Chain A
Amino acid sequence: AQSVTQPDIHITVSEGASLELRCNYSYGATPYLFWYVQSPGQGLQLLLKYFSGDTLVQGIKGFEAEFKRSQSSFNLRKPSVHWSDAAEYFCAVGVLNNAGNMLTFGGGTRLMVKP
């Protein structure tokens, strides 16, 4: 069975600083990987996805993530954080089986941004 680990429950960064959120997955085949963000009072919004090809994927809001198969990681990065990035971030692995497209989520990382 697949699993996702986000080692950092909380992260605080200063506005303008760089950001990296860690995600490690466990899955026996080629993973389909996603990052979602949940801002206060909002639903889950897709930031970016990796299906195949270039291991560095670009997303919305200036985010990017790099798939590293050797490390089973899919870390999310942003070069300069804005106050509006304060939210909870979820990494997920997608599995396509007979039942459909099921996501397994990590526990989430809550990002706080200091002015």
Chain B
Amino acid sequence: EAGVTQFPSHSVIEKGQTVTLRCDPISGHDNLYWYRRVMGKEIKFLLHFVKESKQDESGMPNNRFLAERTGGTYSTLKVQPAELEDSGVYFCASSQFTGSISPLHFGNGTRLTVT
């Protein structure tokens, strides 16, 4: 089966610009998660979708971040306007089962650099 795919793999933008990251989960996985690792820090949870619904967005840093998952398939994460502190690696993950612990399958991540 195809794994979790993320696009782009790298993005370099200037402060104030907008960037949209995309994640395609494993087919049939209802759960989709976004995580982020800023330089030298831990990987931190951002939000969780179950199908098209946001289940938990407690990790979103501020309202410059907007995540969507229209139709319950792929998801986008938009940063607008980007700030320097948004630089880091953004990981997407998916899992099949809701309501039970199951391993998350991660994509390769998008490395975002804001200059």
Name the residue in A90, A101, A102, A103 with the highest tally of chain B Cβ atoms < 10 Å from its Cβ. Answer: A101
Q: Pick out which of these stretches binds chain B: A10-18, A41-49, A69-77.
A: A41-49
With A43-B4, A90-B43 given, is the CB distance from A103 to B104 under 8 Å?
yes
B103 touches A49 (CB 8 A): yes
Instruction: Please report which residues of chain A, range 40-95, place their CB below 8 angstroms from some CB of chain B when the two chains form the complex.
Output: 41-46, 49, 51, 90, 94
Main secondary structure of the interface of A (DSSP, over half): strand
A105 interface hit (Cβ, 8 Å): yes
CB distance from A61 to the nearest CB of B (A): 16
Q: A94 to B33, alpha carbons, bound, how many Å? A: 13
Interface size class of B (residues with CB under 8 A): 20 to 34
Name the residue in B35, B56, B106 with the highest tally of chain A Cβ atoms < 10 Å from its Cβ. Answer: B106
B76-112 Cβ-contact flags toward A at 8 Å (1 or 0): 0000000000000001010100111111111111000
A101 touches B42 (CB 8 A): no
Other-chain contact of B100, A49, A101, A107 (Cβ < 8 Å): A101
Q: A33 to B105, alpha carbons, bound, how many Å? A: 15
Instruction: Please report which residues of chain A, range 20-50, place their CB below 8 angstroms from some CB of chain B when the two chains form the complex.
Output: 32, 34, 36, 41-46, 49
Other-chain contact of A107, B41, B101, B103 (Cβ < 8 Å): B41
Q: What are the residues of chain B within 8 A of A107 when measuring CB–CB? A: 41-42
B106 touches A36 (CB 8 A): yes
Please name 22 pairs of A and B residues whose Cβ atoms are closer than 8 Å in the assembled complex, sorted by A: A43-B91, A44-B43, A44-B93, A44-B106, A44-B109, A46-B104, A90-B43, A96-B101, A99-B55, A99-B56, A99-B58, A100-B48, A100-B50, A101-B31, A101-B100, A101-B101, A102-B33, A102-B56, A103-B45, A103-B104, A105-B35, A107-B42
A residues neighboring B (CB under 8 Å): 4, 32, 34, 36, 41-46, 49, 51, 90, 94, 96, 99-108
